[in-house]
Amino acid sequence: MSAGPTPDRAPDRAPDRAPDRTPAPEFSHMIDRRQLKEKPVRLVADAQQREDLARRFAIPAIHSLTAELQLTPDGEAVVAAGRLEADVVQSCAISGDDLAVAIREDITLRFVPERAIEAEEIELEEEELDEIPFAGNSFDLGEAVAQSLALAIDPYLTGPNADQVRTQVGLSAPQPDGPLQQALAKLKKD
Closest listed residue to residue 153, CA positions, set 110, 99, 109, 111? 99
Q: Please report the pLDDT score of residue 11 as a whole number.
A: 42
Query: How many percent of the chain have pLDDT more than 70?
Result: 77
- pLDDT tops 90 at residue 3: no
List the domain boundaries for the chain.
Answer: 30-115+124-166
Please report, for residues 13, 18, 93, the alpha-carbon distance to residue 69 in angstroms, rounded to integers and kept in the order given.
48, 36, 32
Q: Span 82-105, mean pLDDT?
A: 95
Cα 114 to Cα 16: distance, rounded to the nearest angstrom: 23
Structure confidence by residue, pLDDT tens digits, 132-149: 999 999 999 999 999 999
Closest listed residue to residue 58, CA positions, set 157, 145, 132, 142? 157
Q: Which 3 state secondary structure label does DSSP give 16?
A: coil
- pLDDT tops 90 at residue 85: yes
Nearby residues of 146 by Cβ (< 8 Å), 6 or more positions away: 25, 26, 27, 53, 56
- pLDDT tops 50 at residue 4: no
- pLDDT tops 90 at residue 73: yes
Asked which of 47-51, 59-63, 65-69, 168-172 is least confident by mean pLDDT, the reply is: 168-172
Query: How many percent of the chain have pLDDT more than 90?
Result: 57
pTM of the model: 0.73
Mean of all residue pLDDT scores within the chain: 83
Structure confidence by residue, pLDDT tens digits, 153-181: 999 999 998 888 888 887 776 566 677 77
Q: Got the DSSP string for 131-183?
A: EEEESTTEEEHHHHHHHHHHHHS-TT---TTHHHHHHHTT-SPPPP-SHHHHH
Task: Give the type of residue at 159.
Answer: G
